[in-house]
Amino acid sequence: MNRSRLAAWVAIPVLVVMLAFLAVLAVSDGGDSSSSPSPLLLRPAPAIVGETIDGEPFDLETYDGQFVVVNFFATWCIPCRREHPELVNFERRHTVADDAAVISVVYDAKVGTVRDFFDENGGDWPVVIDPDGRTALEYAVTGVPESFLIDPDGVIVWHSREGFSSSFVDQVLRAQQVAQG
């Protein structure tokens, strides 16, 4: 085999590997996306007013005086599906303790799909529809999942784009409770 044919046979697999690597980089999340914290951290939480998937009116103000986790999600989002059991675990424990609540803001357009998701995966908290994305914009959400912890004074004290960990948020909540006296 001559040198030019050998070079072509070597170059083709190298090119394929390089293209595959570039494709992986193009669809990856770039690592730690929480490195740019929310501009809302330690600021008053924007209002959330709307309708739930059950057709009920919703207003975040009804939760004044308690801790609230606000979780932005979509049923088609794989990381959202992965973190959902953590939210269910957090909500169950804190409903019993009566010291924190969970609400979700959903991107999905089909309410039936969202209801099916909660029927299959658990979770008994208000799910607010954000049809025009206004609430997500007000929270400066860059993608799903994204979660915020709002303290009893209505201030955002924690934010994550990395997925929800009930044990970590428990630690944040306890630290906030101690700090508030």
pLDDT at 15 over 50: no
Portion of the chain with pLDDT greater than 90, in percent: 73
Q: What does the block give as tokens for 2?
A: 């001559």
Summarize pLDDT for 134-180 with one digit per residue, the tens: 999 999 999 999 999 999 999 999 999 989 999 999 999 999 989 98
Summarize pLDDT for 97-144 with one digit per residue, the tens: 999 999 999 987 799 999 999 999 999 999 999 999 999 999 999 999
pLDDT at 33 over 70: no
**Dihedral angle of Cα 7, 12, 15, 21, to the nearest 10 degrees:** -130
Q: How far apart are CA 136 and CA 143, in angstroms?
A: 9
Per-residue H/E/C for 84-151? HHHHHHHHHHHHHHCCEEEEEEECCCCHHHHHHHHHHHCCCCCEEECCCCHHHHHCCCCCCCEEEEEC
Tell me the mean pLDDT in the region 15-25: 35
Q: Looking at residue 107, what is its pLDDT? A: 83
Summarize pLDDT for 53-83 with one digit per residue, the tens: 999 999 999 999 999 999 999 999 999 999 9
Query: How many other β-carbons are positioned within 10 Å of the β-carbon of residue 103?
Result: 19
Nearest to 43 by CA among 116, 132, 118, 140: 140
pLDDT confidence tier of residue 7, bands split at 50, 70 and 90: low
pTM above 0.85, yes or no: no
